[in-house]
Chains A and B, each alone.
Chain A
Amino acid sequence: MKYLDEYRDAPTARQYAAQIARVTTRPWAIMEVCGGQTHAIVKFGIDELLPKAITLIHGPGCPVCVTPLDLIDKAIQIASRPGTIFCSFGDMLRVPGSAADLLSVKAAGGDVRMVYSPLDALGLAARHPDREVVFFAVGFETTAPATAMAAHLAAARGVKNFSLLVAHVRVPPAMEALLASPDCRVRGFLAAGHVCAVMGCAEYGPIAAKYRVPIVVTGFEPLDILQGVLMCVRQLEAGRVEVENQYARVVRPAGNQPAQDLIRRVFEVVPRKWRGLGEIPASGLGLRSQYEALDAEKRFGLASHDTAESIECLSGLVLQGRIKPAECPAFGTACAPEHPLGAPMVSSEGACAAYYRYRGRPPVSKS
């Protein structure tokens, strides 16, 4: 396919790897923020092409993985209500809550449906006026415009049986939270290209300056990632801390104005709890008061409650980039895609799922 295949060209990838090796004089740890980039790195073996001095740390950019347990429990509560159609992106269905997952609600007779877009959920509400249709709105700034459009159309059309369980998150505050940690190893970032396609690059300038880290807005194909790494390493080696845009074919410096207008119309910035990272100020998007009627938590009177994560699952450390998935004792044994302990083993963007799928299970010890 045009604009995909050419960015997987192996000879060019090797030239990039050689150039990165040439300019690298010291060890550098670079975090790729987005789970989509993590998957490309593990799938194509990009990390194995790089010189040993360059470490890629996998970031928390997997919205399914960072959705907190209590929101998943709320989703399960809503989905279990009679007369409800609960809609979610497919990745979310097998993420374990405290006691169950959405798929087990479906198996028990609940009407849980996988949708491709929030607008599909709105369409279901129009076709089933006698049912409550609830959409589990997870995602970063990339996905927020689509949810905002569904909310806006629902309000404009006076759709009464549609609501949203909102778990939207923002990337820049999470990057700051990681950088503010005293033992942060990250020296440079590959920022998430599609988040920036919506939001632009302006939010990253103050972060680069405050924490003295280069930030390169980067795409998702192998050559994009290699070029992003090369740009980042060149900055690090030269002592520069700038925001650069590797993904200019898609990302404009100011982002997408109509998409930002949609987000601002429907959402306000709120604090949000991240699975594995805790509560981060200003890291979420919540419905503005004008759209409060669409808030599923209010509509169904759900209260927040304290939830305890599985003690066997080290996904919090994986999401912070402190350990690689295979370093978790449960990886590939107690935790696998068929019986996950944590969300990163489920999501198509989760780091654990990427290692399991492309690097294989850990060898079974002969005893």
Chain B
Amino acid sequence: MCLAIPGRITSLQDEDPLTRSGKVDFGGIQKDVNLTCVPEAKVGDYVIVHVGFALSVVDEREAATVFEYLRQMGELLELKDPGP
């Protein structure tokens, strides 16, 4: 139910703040999405969409942290434990 998937905004259709909407591309499938809760979102942004509503704009910088976390953790362990 809380399934929400990322898609890229390809166009904005309605700029009325109450009904702001746009086309969002999900790997080749285009859907109309309500954008009222992400007033900052613009064409090209990736948004997380749930039941036709965009709930968040994906932060590109934060998106890589899952790959950096292990490396940072490794460096931290090395700092603490210089080894034999």
Contacts and interface: CB of A to CB of B under 8 A. Distances in A.
Interface in B51-78: 51-53, 55-56, 58-60, 62-63, 65-67, 69-70, 73
Nearest to A115: B51
Interface in A1-59: 1-4, 6-7, 12, 15-16, 19, 34-36
A63 B1 contact: yes
B69 A119 contact: no
A297 to B, nearest CB: 21
B45 to A, nearest CB: 11
Given A12-B67, A250-B58, A258-B36, A138 B1 contact: yes
Contacts of A246: 66
B2 interface: yes
Label chain B's interface by main secondary structure. mixed
A249 B65 contact: yes
A227 B69 contact: yes
Contacts of B55: 142, 145, 194, 197-198, 256, 259
Contact of A117 (B48, B52, B65): B52
A224 interface: yes
A145 B38 CA distance: 12
Contacts, number: 128
Contacts of B38: 256, 258
Contacts of A223: 66
Nearest to A142: B2
B48 to A, nearest CB: 5
Contacts of A62: 1
A3 B73 contact: no
Given A2-B46, A116-B51, A118-B51, A251 B56 contact: yes
Most chain A beta-carbon contacts within 10 A, residue among B6, B65, B66? B66
Interface residues of B, number: 35
Contact of B52 (A2, A3, A119, A262): A119
Contacts of B51: 89, 116-118, 139, 143, 146
Contacts of A117: 34, 51-53
A349 interface: yes
Contacts of A126: none
A349 B58 CA distance: 24
B12 interface: no
A272 B53 CA distance: 25
A194 B58 contact: no
A160 B26 CA distance: 35
Given A116-B51, A256-B55, A249 B37 contact: no
Interface string A52-89: 00000000011110000000000000000000000001
B6 A3 contact: yes
Contacts of B50: 142-143, 146, 194
Contact of B37 (A35, A139, A248, A258): A258
A220 to B, nearest CB: 8
Contacts of A36: 1-3
B8 interface: yes
14 contacts: A1-B5, A1-B26, A3-B63, A36-B2, A89-B1, A138-B1, A139-B1, A143-B50, A145-B55, A194-B4, A227-B69, A248-B62, A262-B36, A347-B1
Interface of A: 1-4, 6-7, 12, 15-16, 19, 34-36, 61-64, 89, 91, 116-120, 138-140, 142-143, 145-146, 149, 153, 156, 192, 194-195, 197-198, 220, 223-224, 227, 230, 246, 248-252, 256, 258-259, 262, 347-349
